[in-house]
Amino acid sequence: MNLVVVSNRLSRGNANEPMTGGLAAALLPIVEKSGAIWVGSSGRVRDGAQKEPFAEIEALGTGALAMLDLPAAHYGGYYEGFANSALWPALHSRADLIRVSQGDYLSYREVNAFMARALLRFRKPDTVFWIQDYHFLALGAELRDLGVTQPVGFFLHTPWPAREVIAGVPHHRELAEAMLAYDLIGFQTEDDYENFAGYLSSTLGLVVADGVVTSPHGKTRIAVFPIGIDAEKFARQAARAISHPDVSRLRRSLNGEKLAIGVDRLDYSKGLVNRIKAFDQMWTAQPSLARTVSLLQIATPSRGAIEAYGNLQSELAKLVSDVNGRHGEVDWTPIRYLNKGFSQTVLAGLYRTAQVGVVTPLHDGMNLVAKEYVAAQNPADPGVLVLSKFAGAANELDTALLVNPHDIDSMARTIAMALSMPLLERRMRWEAMMIKLRHHSIQHWFASFVDVLELARAERSVVVQDVVEPPTWWPLRSANG
Ligand code: G6P
């Protein structure tokens, strides 16, 4: 088998470089070892005069990285536009933030079609294509239009929301139709699966039976594959990183004070405003906690050209400065707030230094920071994870202190409780989480998706004559249903 993995963002394989987002960080170690070709955006654009999609190729472990320059005329409409101003807010149940235009949608489709053409050069008879995330919902359909008959699977790293929310994206039907060209569609959680299956039956009138939906494209299997991490490797990295200069400096600066840590992209789905308010509330309600615990919040800037992200950055900067102004002392800063990225190596050491990890998104596909925080802990004296019940990770990490990120008072009380939790309880909770992390490793995620994809393709070719009659709306390439 020749595996071709596709995602918008790539990672070049240096554990000492800052990493943006869980997807690239998660894929890197397994792609390196699997011998796959990993294709994605180079981050550069080119004008439309190019005849062939330009790809710079470099070795990555036993495989290769292919970095494509995307078309300049469509990049903005695709990335800042449709992917991150229409799909991202919808997928995270923020219909109020959806900004959409027909032009952006067309650019999104153009980039999906461009990527499909670029992938043809990597196709061999035994190739398996695995497409990642919401940037490429329509890529499978574009590949099929180009005559690709090899297995093509798709994994969504974000949630799939309730039917009424996705319907806020005017092109939802044609996108869902395009998705059914995939042989296998993977989700992070049962809820995402149920929402998608519910959408297919209630909005598209299709029947989903035993995880299989039959459409004019043939059969598509849908299934749940919660993404994991390499917990043992991360633990080793964390133990080593404790002597990294950045980590040692942090430890020295604490003077014995406790530390809570939050590490997020600066994104409205991450619940950062509510988190800062919860710390404010905690220090107000329990003044004795001033000087005994501070928060290190790393908020890596992301998608800054989009208005909602710019607004959030300003709101957070103001809020943090207000909280620091009210609770701070000449020799004590309650919140250390950093707008930059850190390497996996340094992050591992920072997580191990912190007695509390706060991961409180309003909605998140999985959230690998939660898993990494747990894996990084010292087994003899582990920290406590405070985790939003609306992160996919809460399904497995159910012995974390689970919180509702909208309930600021309760979050404040829970963080205080985490700070005073006895060692025995901390160890019991942590050990239970580590068992789950070891069991649901990234290697297991990767291998089980690829296995089910090959099976799903085999099922599909058996029944290819048995396709259903197209419903009246099928295919809707240009309407805004
Ligand atoms: C999330 C998405 C990824 C994305 C990452 C970083 O994790 O699911 O697909 O790569 O955020 O976002 P960015 O826009 O910076 O690539």
pLDDT bin (cut points 50, 70, 90) of residue 467 is low
Instruction: Determine the 3-state secondary structure of 31 from DSSP.
Output: helix
Task: Give the pLDDT confidence score for residue 243 in this predicted structure.
Answer: 93
Q: Quick one: pLDDT band at residue 55, thresholds 50, 70, 90?
A: confident
Exposed, middle or buried by CB within 10 Å (0-12, 13-18, 19+), for 301?
Answer: middle
> 23-47: per-residue pLDDT in tens?
888 888 888 889 999 999 999 999 8
d(CA 260, CA 358): 7
Ligand 1 touching residue 92 (CB < 6 A): no
Q: How far is the CA of 323 from the centre of ligand 1 (A)?
A: 29
Q: Classify residue 180 by its DSSP letter.
A: T
What distance in angstroms lies between residue 286's CA and the mean position of ligand 1's atoms? Answer: 37
Please give the share of the chain, as a percent, with pLDDT higher than 70: 94
Q: How confident is the model at residue 15 (pLDDT cuts 50, 70, 90)?
A: low
- Catalytic-labelled residue, pool 135, 157, 171, 440: 157
Question: Per-residue pLDDT for 415 more than 70?
Answer: yes
**Residue nearest to ligand 1 atom 12, measured at CA:** 21
Which segment of 25-29, 89-93, 274-278 scores lowest on mean pLDDT?
Answer: 25-29
Q: So what's the pLDDT on residue 477?
A: 44
The set of residues, in sequence order, having a beta carbon less than 8 Å from that of 322 and lying 6+ positions away, is: none
| Predicted pLDDT of residue 476 | 47
How high is the pLDDT of residue 24? 86
Per-residue pLDDT tens over the stretch 202-240: 999 999 999 999 999 999 999 999 999 999 999 999 999
Determine contact, residues 403/415, Cβ cutoff 8 Å. no
Ligand 1 proximity of 9 Cβ (cutoff 6 Å): yes
**Confidence (pLDDT) at 49:** 62
Mutational test site, ligand 1, from 10, 20, 70, 155, max ligand atoms within 8 Å of CB: 20
- The pLDDT value given to residue 475: 53
Residues 103, 107: Cα–Cα separation, whole Å: 6
pLDDT average, residue stretch 400-421:
98
Task: Please count the helices (runs of H) and the strands (runs of E) in the chain.
Answer: 17, 16
Residue 463 has a pLDDT of 53
Catalytic residue at 157?
yes
Mutate to test the pocket of ligand 1, among 17, 92, 111, 133 (most ligand atoms within 8 A of CB): 133
Separation CA 334–CA 316 (nearest Å) = 15
pLDDT at 466 over 80: no
Is a pLDDT exceeding 80 seen at residue 155? yes
Average pLDDT of the segment spanning 453-476: 67
CA 235 – CA 199 distance, rounded (Å): 40
8 Å CB contact between 349 and 264: no
- Say yes or no: CB of residue 20 within 6 Å of ligand 1: yes
Query: Residue 189 corresponds to which tokens in the numbers above?
Result: 């959680």
Whether 364 is catalytic is yes
**Residue 419 burial (10 A CB sphere; 0-12, 13-18, 19+):** buried
Torsion angle of the four alpha carbons 376, 381, 386, 387, in this order, in degrees rounded to the nearest 10: 40
Q: Which of 19, 41, 157 to mutate to test the pocket of ligand 1 (most atoms within 8 A of CB)?
A: 157
Indicate which residue's Cα is closest to atom 16 of ligand 1.
9
Token code pair at residue 101: 């235009």
Beta-carbon neighbour count of residue 334 at 10 Å?
24
Mean pLDDT in residue range 188-197: 98
Where does the pLDDT of residue 474 fall: very low under 50, low under 70, confident under 90, or very high at 90 and above?
Answer: low
Dist. CA 102–CA 432, nearest whole Å: 49
Say if CB 385 and CB 360 are below 8 A apart. Answer: no
How many of the other CB atoms lie within 10 Å of CB of 9? 18
pLDDT of residue 29: 84
pLDDT at 326: 98
Q: How far apart, in whole angstroms, are the C-alpha atoms of residue 212 and residue 214?
A: 7
CB-CB contact of 83 with 107 (8 Å): no
pLDDT band of residue 51 (cuts 50, 70, 90) is low
Q: Please identify which of the residues 69, 183, 267, 364 carries the catalytic annotation.
A: 364
**Count of other CB atoms within 10 angstroms of residue 313:** 17
Q: Specify which residues 263 forms β-bridges with.
A: 298
- Residues 253-280, mean pLDDT to the nearest whole number: 97
Number of Cβ within a 10 Å radius of residue 359: 31
